[in-house]
Copies of this chain bind each other. A is one copy, B any other.
Amino acid sequence: MVVTPLLFMVRDRLAASLSRGDAREFDTVHDDNSRVIVAGFGRFGQITARLLRYKKIPFTALEVNPTQVDFVRRFGNRIYYGDASRVDLLRAAGADRADLFILAIDDPEASVRTAKAVRRYFPGLKIVARARNRQHAMALLGMNIDYVIRETFLSSLDAARQALESLGLTTAEARDAIRTFRDYDENMLRDQVAFKDDEKRLIESAKQAAEELERLFEQDARERT
């Protein structure tokens, strides 16, 4: 395993610059028990990481921005700062030994770049990925990522469920509508991936998104009539 000394230097310098009065020595011993890598420590990565901690599952974090992740070190998990698509960083983080890679990077371009690096250099590593929108999800699905979830999809369905109940549907009716719609929408997304060039789709234009949405509305209506 190759560990770039520069990487550790940068990391330690950042850690030092971030540490408060109670700074402790940064632990450089490798934790080979960490089965999970979480890339991206924004709102999405933080929640998944908290769940892992809650279930006492150690993880290694990768994050490009050091300002908001200082606390991870304090809780015994390892964190690396830098571009998660760099193979040396991935290797240092233990990508060759891990069971699961949680791709929680918010920026679609950085996310796809990272997914490609993981697929290429660590093909056996399972990936669970966050997607910003349909285009990003299609790019990831086109790379055969194991599990892809659009970041606002389930909360917007939950708001819709709550809305339907407020408007008089029973809990069961609202839940059923959400479930049917989710399956239908995710299947449609998968169908679209099958015959689309995912690289092109990622380059979103407002026009493209509007046309796609219009098509979705038309299909929703056809589905029910």
Residue positions of A touching B, CB distance < 8 A? 35-36, 43-48, 50-57, 67-71, 74-75, 99-100, 102, 104, 126, 128-130, 133, 146-147, 149-160, 162-164, 166-167, 169, 177-178, 181, 185, 206, 209-210, 213-214, 216-217, 220-221, 223-224
- A164 and B55 within 8 A (CB): yes
Q: Which residues of B contact A213 (CB under 8 A)?
A: 46, 68, 71
Contact of A152 among B75, B126, B151, B223 (CB under 8 A): B151
Interface SS majority for chain A: helix
- B51 and A167 within 8 A (CB): no
Q: How far is the CA of A101 from the CA of B184 in the complex (A)?
A: 26
Counting chain B CB atoms within 10 Å of each CB, the highest count among A69, A153, A221 belongs to A153
Given A36-B167, A147-B162: A206 in contact with B130 (beta carbons within 8 A): no
Q: How far is the CA of A22 from the CA of B164 in the complex (A)?
A: 33
- B47 and A220 within 8 A (CB): no
Q: How far is the CA of A160 from the CA of B164 in the complex (A)?
A: 27
Contact of A217 among B71, B146, B158, B210 (CB under 8 A): B71
Q: Which residues of B contact A159 (CB under 8 A)?
A: 44, 48, 102, 104, 128-130, 147, 149
Q: Which residues of B contact A52 (CB under 8 A)?
A: 160, 163
Q: How many copies does the complex hold?
A: 2
Please give me the residue from chain B that is nearest to A56 by CB atom.
Answer: B224
Q: Which residues of B contact A68 (CB under 8 A)?
A: 206, 209-210, 213
Given A99-B166, A209-B68: A54 in contact with B156 (beta carbons within 8 A): no
Please give me the residue from chain B that is nearest to A72 by CB atom.
Answer: B217
Q: How far is the CA of A157 from the CA of B153 in the complex (A)?
A: 12
Q: How far is the CA of A164 from the CA of B147 in the complex (A)?
A: 13
Q: Which residues of B contact A210 (CB under 8 A)?
A: 67-71
Q: How far is the CA of A69 from the CA of B209 in the complex (A)?
A: 10
- B155 and A150 within 8 A (CB): yes
- B51 and A157 within 8 A (CB): yes
- A54 and B181 within 8 A (CB): yes
Given A51-B178, A158-B154, A160-B48: A99 in contact with B167 (beta carbons within 8 A): yes
Q: Which residues of B contact A51 (CB under 8 A)?
A: 157, 160, 163-164, 177-178, 181
